[in-house]
Amino acid sequence: MIELSFHGGMASVGASAILLDTGSEKIVFDYGTKPREVPPIFPIPIKGNVDAIFLTHAHLDHSGGLPIFVARGDNVPIYAQEVTKELTELLLNDSIKISNEEGFPLPFNKDDVDQTIRNFVHLDYKKPIRIGKSTITFFDAGHIPGSAMVYVESEKNILYTGDFNAIDTRLLKGCEKDLPEVDVLITESTYSDRNHPNREEQEKEFVRVIKETIYEDGVALVSGFAVGRLQEVLLILRKYKVNFPIYMDGMAKKATTIINRHNKLLRNPKSLENALENVEYVNNKTQRKKIIKQPCIILTTSGMLHGGPIDFYIRKLYKDEKSSLILTGYQVEGTPGRVLLETGRYVTEDVDLELDMKVFRFDFSAHSGRDELLQFIKDVNPEKIFCVHGDHTQEFAAELKEEMGFDAVAPIANNRTFKL
Ligand SMILES: [Zn+2]
């Protein structure tokens, strides 16, 4: 008897964690946090020993809780792409730094993070491995470099999508479409209720805003996520031959270096290296003060204006009508980025500023939009579907059931264990 239990990332985004108990093996898919909560929220604990963890990608909402296993004395192997290991190390160490700065405790320390990273085992796409009686294979998920879908062959064939993008972006090819037979699909549902705007139109409008800002002698301040998003933005600037001074600041620098080292995972392996030819890294306040005296493009974190060097730049530029603040990611409710879009004010614990600089938002999402999600589910055509990782999983499961005839369910906190 196979049993699936959902420990987080159910009816919302964050703290993704799933336990598959095949009767002979216990396998965990992802173990994340809700990183933007202070302190972060962790999954419902998984009791007992686990045979293996498969990590779909580095983002903290999938990886942020991994050191808990080491902290409780369990050195379980974590299978992931090499780039996922390196990016996870970067993000976990950053979460330790933030907990120290903001003064909230985490249930693990720096030593636990280091040991967690040592427990990683490299697993490439399409290279099946055996865990007890089950065979597990990674397929490219097209979400960020190294992102994987997990396919388990046991009594039932199970596919967990992790976060996935079905369409090509500048950085990555869309997810693997040639998948083996799937009985049980566990799918992310981030955009189950909406489509993305046309990508090419977004790119062109983004480039137009950048050019207009620079021609007006302003600074184009672009905020985005360190892992995936700002690399995508770099490639867009390259594609449209935007030849102004480009600076990169914050954690995106290290993330870009790591991703470029694993460039065989990119849609065009040379693309990032080429785009970096025009980019200068910014490392300190003196440099920051200097670069904003001239029109330029600055790419920096955080993507939701929650800390990072973007805070310095906004405080310096907010009164400048010629400059632009350009958001490139989804803004979660309650974050300074969301508040800014709703009120025109930049509000943090320290400041409340009314912006004269122009504010724009673009959608360069790395998740499948609604139409792609539906097409993917039709193509996979499973016997049973679990909808997770979204704000509308219940509605989505109901729709899949009533309108498309699938046996679909959305796990919730008090109904989260299922026998297959
Ligand atoms: Zn992700």
Per-residue pLDDT tens over the stretch 29-54 = 999 999 777 889 999 999 999 999 99
CA of 401 to the centre of ligand 1 (A): 26
Per-residue pLDDT tens over the stretch 250-265 = 999 999 999 999 999 9
CA dihedral 49, 37, 390, 181 (to 10 degrees): -30
Q: What is the pLDDT of residue 157?
A: 98
Q: What is the pLDDT of residue 12?
A: 87
Domain with CATH 3.60.15.10 in the chain: 3-194+366-419
CA of 356 to the centre of ligand 1 (A): 32
The CATH code belonging to domain 199-361 is 3.40.50.10890
CA of 183 to the centre of ligand 1 (A): 24
Q: What is the pLDDT of residue 394?
A: 97
Of the candidates 215, 184, 207, 231, the one whose C-alpha atom is nearest the C-alpha of residue 87 is: 231
Strand 17-21 relative to strand 26-31: parallel, antiparallel, unpaired? antiparallel
CA of 51 to the centre of ligand 1 (A): 24
196 SS3 class: coil
CA of 231 to the centre of ligand 1 (A): 14
CA-to-CA dists, residue 51 to 21, 130, 134, 356, 381, angstroms: 10, 11, 11, 55, 29
CA of 366 to the centre of ligand 1 (A): 8
Q: What is the pLDDT of residue 333?
A: 82
CA of 389 to the centre of ligand 1 (A): 10
Residue 375 has pLDDT above 90, yes or no: yes
CA of 16 to the centre of ligand 1 (A): 10
Per-residue pLDDT tens over the stretch 80-97 = 999 999 999 999 999 999
Q: Residue 330's pLDDT band (boundaries 50, 70, 90)?
A: confident
Domain with CATH 3.40.50.10890 in the chain: 199-361
Q: Residue 146's pLDDT band (boundaries 50, 70, 90)?
A: very high
The CATH code belonging to domain 3-194+366-419 is 3.60.15.10
CA of 367 to the centre of ligand 1 (A): 8
Q: Which residues surround ligand 1, an ion (CB under 5 A)?
A: 59, 163
